[in-house]
Chain A
Amino acid sequence: QVQLQESGPGLVKPSETLSLTCTVSRGSINTYYWNWIRQPPGEGLEWIGYIYYSGSTFYNPSLKSRVTISVDTSKNQFSLKLNSMTAADTAVYYCARGSVAGTEFDYWGQGTLVTVSS
């Protein structure tokens, strides 16, 4: 069964860049869509974007100017960078595998809470 694990800092200062990595185990990152999704405390889910194993990406237009998602197939990892962080970006960040069609999320990481504060 595929497993995903997020890693990265839990605290980021305002205006700085968030960098998170998702490591995929018990399965190959080749094929499928690899996504980042976030959830502010007590709120709903927001899709950030995906990367296909080939490197093609699609971002949520609401975040597009600040987001970069990349993939390292040799390490079975994909990563998120979100710049110009503000308090509004405080959230639990999840990585998730998209189905072959890229339409729903069948495997998720446990999530990592990122707090934006000085």
Chain B
Amino acid sequence: DIQMTQSPSSVSASVGDRVTISCRASQGISSWLAWYQQKPGKAPKLLIYAASSLQSGVPSRFSGSGSGTDFTLTISSLQPEDSATYYCQQANSFPLTFGPGTKVDIK
């Protein structure tokens, strides 16, 4: 199985800040990576697929980059509604696996 790691495990930032979350795969996955946002008590929501493609309806302040083993999710200007846990997921090979999550809090 491909193992996914994320850093940091949590981050606290102010409204308007730029926030960057990293995701690393245990082996190369090309651009087969997705990012999700999950709020408490809710299902995850797809933000980014194919490493950098923005899902329809997702605000443009979210962006993704990377390929191979190292990936980044960036929130360019943090908003109060962005408080959530963010997960990466590799889509290169089965079983599909997720990272452990990064919790983003608003200061």
A111, B91: Cα distance in complex, Å: 22
Flag if B43 contacts A94 (CB, 8 Å).
yes
Flag if A60 contacts B46 (CB, 8 Å).
no
Interface hit among B17-25, B72-80, B97-105: B97-105
A104, B87: Cα distance in complex, Å: 12
A105 within 8 A of B: yes
Flag if A45 contacts B44 (CB, 8 Å).
yes
Flag if B98 contacts A104 (CB, 8 Å).
no
A27 within 8 A of B: no
- Describe A's contact surface by its main secondary structure: loop
In the complex, residue of chain A having the shortest beta-carbon distance to the beta carbon of B41: A111
A-chain residues with CB within 8 Å of residue B96 when the two chains form the complex: 47, 103
Flag if B43 contacts A44 (CB, 8 Å).
no
B-chain residues with CB within 8 Å of residue A46 when the two chains form the complex: 98
Q: Which of A73-118 contact B (CB under 8 A)?
A: 94, 96, 99, 101-106, 108-111
B59 within 8 A of A: no
Flag if B97 contacts A47 (CB, 8 Å).
yes
B62 within 8 A of A: no
Flag if A47 contacts B46 (CB, 8 Å).
no
- Of A58, A103, A109, which one neighbours B91 at CB under 8 angstroms? A103
When A and B form their complex, which 5 residue pairs have the shortest distance between CB atoms, in order from nearest? A103-B91, A108-B43, A104-B34, A60-B95, A45-B98
Q: Can you give 30 A-B contacts (C-beta < 8 A)?
A: A44-B87, A44-B98, A44-B100, A45-B44, A45-B89, A45-B98, A46-B98, A47-B95, A47-B97, A60-B94, A61-B1, A96-B43, A99-B49, A101-B91, A102-B91, A103-B32, A103-B34, A103-B50, A103-B91, A104-B34, A104-B46, A104-B49, A104-B91, A105-B36, A105-B44, A106-B55, A108-B44, A108-B45, A110-B42, A110-B43
- A103-B32, A104-B89, A105-B36 given; 7 more Cβ-contact pairs under 8 Å: A44-B87, A46-B98, A60-B94, A60-B95, A103-B91, A103-B96, A104-B46
Which residues from chain B sit less than 8 Å from chain A, CB to CB?
A: 1, 32, 34, 36, 42-46, 49-50, 55, 87, 89, 91, 94-101
